[in-house]
């Protein structure tokens, strides 16, 4: 905590974003497949004319909520962030409006995992309280910024229980339009589907997406424009030329060139003689690209009929092909410019939303923005724009002036410095007020029935639930943590059980040797406002009831960094004897946990001294050494190795 407090003390003289004259300034953020955002804007003498902030509303509500402005979960938070962006020179806002999602989108119950379930609940909570998009439009305009609504063209989700290259079989959402019209999704030569990616050769695939944009523009007449966002969480193919063999593409290619691409081996990327430079293959890529251009023609026309002069923005990976996850579909951006189909083009964008920083360089993709592969120089794009005689803006994703570009775009969910600073101020205030920070406080009460109050998780086999919230509430100086995976069957653990009959207080967590590990965690680290606990003085306490012969393993967790060894581990033997370790150096704690009674276990961690002390009721161990350099945690795990036991009143506290 020492390092955190030092940071807080520097910041405590600053106010949060509600004071216009003391707005916190942006700093370098995190990468996550986006290397440019690690750098500051630099001191280039030429000013950047346009700066666009892309706000993925659903992401930041979860990551930065509920009580930092960056979470944009209240009207005040949205207004504060608009002030913040304006004060940092932003001129445009791209706003992702989850409250305007196509009603055909559903959540896959059978493949739901706990965090997706929590996000669904959080969406509903916030969206039922106010119109986030309307608030964003008004707030942006009050600050003198333009605002565009964005939605992904190709992000229609994976069918339940279908494999996903990067997300296994637990993809959380699905557009059921494609269950009614399965022909609309992209296919490979074998007929395998690229789930959630619509093939634009079909008029229905184009018209339904155009209707989504039209509905939003009609609902919000004060929008300045729309971003036709080419991006997807769907799985990329294993090769840039794997997909693109839907029957209308096959038929049209055969009509034009007399070749059946389904049977001709020159279109099989697995064939040793496959030539990516083959003219016939390039014609196939161009054919697919024609329908992307046709889609832009149709949406430009349709939007113009509803709102003449409405701005249309589109993004690419900056080359002549779409790139991952879509493949080597020809991207005819020169035609888009010459025909005036777009008013702004953003290049070098990140499109493979499910792949993180995965390296696609050896998988046959001819353009890949993240890898600087097959990208067109900015000056060449500027020449094409100037030659067209049209007023079209060119934006990059690099925080600097680039010759030929009008400016850059940034992303709110990859700029974590502001919420971290605001959280540091909140922690400083609460330390001063309460003398402590309650990192986790979970007593397992008031959460039944689980089906109505908790977060569904189907990744453990069958339905299980997580309770609580992995985020910190400054107003309460506490977090319940995210605890689970619970069942509704008291004979299958972990489960929530009434323990008043064994002198307990209400409900507790029941664990046995046949069940899963009980975990209670916080979300911390990169991408979150909070840090794992790694300095200062921290206490961990919990009540435990051990039945005869019960053997337990208990250890700290650092969720999000599972490769890191547990900072503290305890083993309670079947006789009740406790041994403890840090980094697998086991020592006898000379303490025991009795059976058939409740006892309070306390772990006092002193990171500065590099020790921890165990206590059971009023008996304490000698100090036990920590592996100080690797010590960090954000939760606790309990596993019963034999027989059964109960756990209650878990609390992790940072002491001033």
Phi first, then psi: give them for residue 425, nearest 5 degrees: -65, -45
Answer for the pair 266, 260: CB distance below 8 angstroms, yes or no.
no
Surface-to-core class of residue 524, CB atoms within 10 Å of its CB (0-12 exposed, 13-18 middle, 19+ buried): buried
Give the distance, in angstroms, between the CA of residue 515 and the centroid of all CA atoms in the same chain: 29
HSE-up (13 A, CA, CB side) for residue 79: 9
Task: Tell me the pairing of strands 569-572 and 464-469.
Answer: unpaired
* Residue 52 to residue 375: CA distance in whole angstroms: 21
- What pLDDT, on the 0 to 100 scale, is given for residue 33? 40
* Residue 446 to residue 480: CA distance in whole angstroms: 12
In Å, the largest CA–CA distance within the chain is: 87
Strand partners, 557: 635
- What pLDDT, on the 0 to 100 scale, is given for residue 36? 47
What pTM did the predictor assign? 0.90
- What pLDDT, on the 0 to 100 scale, is given for residue 306? 97
* Residue 332 to residue 335: CA distance in whole angstroms: 6
- What pLDDT, on the 0 to 100 scale, is given for residue 108? 87
* Residue 86 to residue 77: CA distance in whole angstroms: 14
Q: Alpha helix (H) ranges present in 244-377?
A: 247-257, 279-306, 333-338
Closest of 538, 530, 598, 546 to residue 568, by C-alpha = 538
CA-based torsion, 120, 122, 125, 130: positive or negative: negative
- What pLDDT, on the 0 to 100 scale, is given for residue 31? 30
- What pLDDT, on the 0 to 100 scale, is given for residue 328? 98
Strand partners, 375: 319
CB-based burial, 610-624: b 16+ in 10 Å, e otherwise: bbbbbbbeeeebeeb
Q: Alpha helix (H) ranges present in 128-202?
A: 132-142, 177-180
Cβ atoms within 10 Å, residue 278: 13
Tokens coding 99: 């409250």
- Name the region of 83 (left: φ>0; alpha: ψ -120 to 50; beta: rest): alpha
Segments of the chain with pLDDT less than 70: 1-46, 98-100, 563, 583
Q: Which residues contact 331 (CB under 8 A, 6 or more apart)?
A: 289, 292, 316, 317, 319, 320, 321, 322, 367
* Residue 428 to residue 642: CA distance in whole angstroms: 43
Tokens 């083993």 locate to: 571
Task: Tell me the pairing of strands 585-592 and 598-606.
Answer: unpaired
- What pLDDT, on the 0 to 100 scale, is given for residue 20? 31
Write the pLDDT tens digit of every residue in 366-421.
999 988 899 999 999 999 999 999 999 999 987 777 888 999 998 888 778 899 99
Closest of 33, 40, 49 to residue 403, by C-alpha = 49
Answer for the pair 377, 347: CB distance below 8 angstroms, yes or no.
no
Q: What is the DSSP letter of 150?
A: E
Cβ atoms within 10 Å, residue 432: 11
Beta strands in 30-166 (DSSP E): 50-55, 92-96, 105-107, 146-152
Residue 97: in which H helix or E strand, if any? none
Closest of 74, 99, 93 to residue 143, by C-alpha = 93
Tokens coding 208: 């339904």
* Residue 653 to residue 248: CA distance in whole angstroms: 62
Tokens 């004897």 locate to: 577
What SS3 string covers 468-523?
EECCCECCCCECCEEEEEEECCCCCCCEEEECHHHCCCCEEEEEECCCCCEEEECC
**What spatial distance separates the first Cα and last Cα of the chain, rounded to whole Å?**
8
Q: Which residues contact 582 (CB under 8 A, 6 or more apart)?
A: 567, 568, 569, 612, 624, 625, 626, 627, 631
* Residue 304 to residue 307: CA distance in whole angstroms: 5
Q: For residue 465, give the 3-state DSSP assignment.
A: strand
* Residue 196 to residue 163: CA distance in whole angstroms: 12
CA-based torsion, 80, 85, 91, 92: positive or negative: negative
Answer for the pair 487, 466: CB distance below 8 angstroms, yes or no.
no
Domains of the chain, CATH where assigned = 30-415 (3.20.20), 435-655 (2.60.120.200)
Task: Tell me the pairing of strands 344-346 and 393-396.
Answer: parallel
CB-based burial, 499-520: b 16+ in 10 Å, e otherwise: beeeebeebbbbbbbebbbbbb
Tokens coding 174: 């699905």
Q: What is the DSSP letter of 232?
A: B
- Name the region of 153 (left: φ>0; alpha: ψ -120 to 50; beta: rest): alpha
Q: Is the bond leading into 449 cis (omega within 30 degrees of zero)?
A: yes
């Amino acid at each position: 905590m020492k390092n955190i407090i030092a940071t807080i003390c520097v910041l405590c003289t600053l106010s949060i974003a509600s004071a216009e004259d003391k707005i916190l300034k942006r700093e370098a953020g995190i990468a996550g497949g986006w290397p440019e955002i690690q750098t500051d804007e630099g001191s280039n003498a030429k000013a950047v004319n346009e700066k666009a902030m892309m706000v993925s509303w659903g992401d930041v509500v979860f990551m930065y909520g509920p009580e930092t402005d960056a979470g944009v979960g209240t009207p005040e938070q949205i207004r504060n962030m608009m002030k913040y962006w304006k004060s940092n020179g932003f001129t445009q806002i791209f706003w992702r409006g989850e409250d305007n999602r196509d009603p055909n989108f559903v959540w896959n119950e059978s493949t739901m995992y706990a965090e997706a379930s929590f996000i669904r609940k959080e969406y509903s909570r916030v969206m039922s309280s106010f119109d986030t998009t309307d608030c964003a439009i008004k707030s942006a305009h009050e600050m003198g910024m333009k605002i565009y609504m964005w939605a992904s063209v190709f992000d229609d989700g994976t069918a339940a229980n279908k494999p996903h290259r990067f997300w296994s079989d637990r993809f959380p959402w699905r557009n059921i339009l494609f269950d009614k019209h399965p022909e609309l999704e992209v296919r490979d030569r074998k007929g395998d589907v690229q789930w959630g990616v619509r093939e634009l050769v079909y008029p229905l695939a184009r018209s339904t997406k155009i209707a989504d944009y039209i509905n939003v523009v009609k609902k919000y007449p004060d929008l300045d424009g729309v971003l036709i966002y080419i991006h997807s969480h769907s799985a990329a193919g294993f090769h840039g030329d794997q997909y693109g063999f839907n029957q209308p593409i096959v038929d049209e290619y055969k009509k034009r060139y007399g070749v059946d691409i389904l049977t001709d081996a020159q279109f099989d990327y697995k064939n040793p003689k496959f030539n990516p430079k083959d003219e016939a293959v390039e014609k196939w890529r161009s054919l697919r690209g024609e329908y992307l251009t046709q889609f832009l023609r149709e949406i430009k026309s349709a939007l113009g009929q509803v709102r003449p002069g409405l701005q249309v923005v589109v993004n690419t990976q900056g080359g002549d092909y779409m790139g991952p996850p879509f493949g080597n579909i020809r991207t005819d951006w020169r035609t888009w410019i010459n025909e005036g189909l777009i008013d702004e083009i953003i290049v070098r964008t990140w499109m493979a939303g499910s792949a993180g920083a995965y390296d696609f360089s050896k998988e046959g993709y001819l353009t890949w923005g993240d890898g600087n592969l097959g990208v067109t120089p900015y000056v060449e794009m500027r020449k094409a724009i100037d030659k067209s005689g049209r007023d079209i803006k060119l934006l990059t994703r690099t925080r600097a002036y680039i010759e030929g570009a009008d400016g850059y775009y940034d992303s709110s969910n990859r700029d974590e410095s502001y919420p971290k600073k605001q959280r540091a101020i909140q922690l400083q205030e609460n330390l001063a007020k309460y003398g402590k920070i309650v990192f986790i406080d979970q007593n397992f009460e008031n959460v039944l029935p689980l089906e109505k109050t908790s977060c569904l998780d189907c990744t453990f086999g069958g339905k299980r639930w997580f309770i609580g919230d992995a985020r910190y509430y400054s107003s309460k100086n506490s977090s319940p943590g995210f605890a689970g995976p619970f069942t509704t069957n008291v004979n299958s653990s972990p489960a929530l059980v009434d323990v008043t009959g064994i002198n307990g207080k209400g409900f507790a967590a029941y664990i046995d040797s046949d069940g899963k590990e009980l975990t209670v965690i916080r979300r911390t680290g990169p991408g979150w406002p909070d840090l794992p606990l790694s300095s200062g003085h921290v206490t961990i306490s919990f009540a435990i009831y051990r039945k005869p012969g019960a053997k337990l393993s208990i250890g700290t967790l650092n969720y999000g960094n599972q490769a890191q060894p547990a900072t503290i581990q305890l083993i309670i033997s079947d006789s009740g004897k406790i041994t403890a370790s840090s980094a697998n150096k086991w020592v006898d704690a000379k303490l025991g946990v009795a059976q058939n009674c409740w006892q309070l276990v306390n772990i006092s961690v002193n990171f500065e001294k590099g020790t921890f002390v165990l206590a059971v009721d009023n008996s304490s161990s000698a100090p036990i050494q920590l592996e100080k350099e690797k010590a960090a945690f954000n939760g606790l795990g309990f596993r019963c190795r034999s027989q059964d036991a109960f756990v209650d009143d878990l609390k992790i506290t940072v002491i001033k």
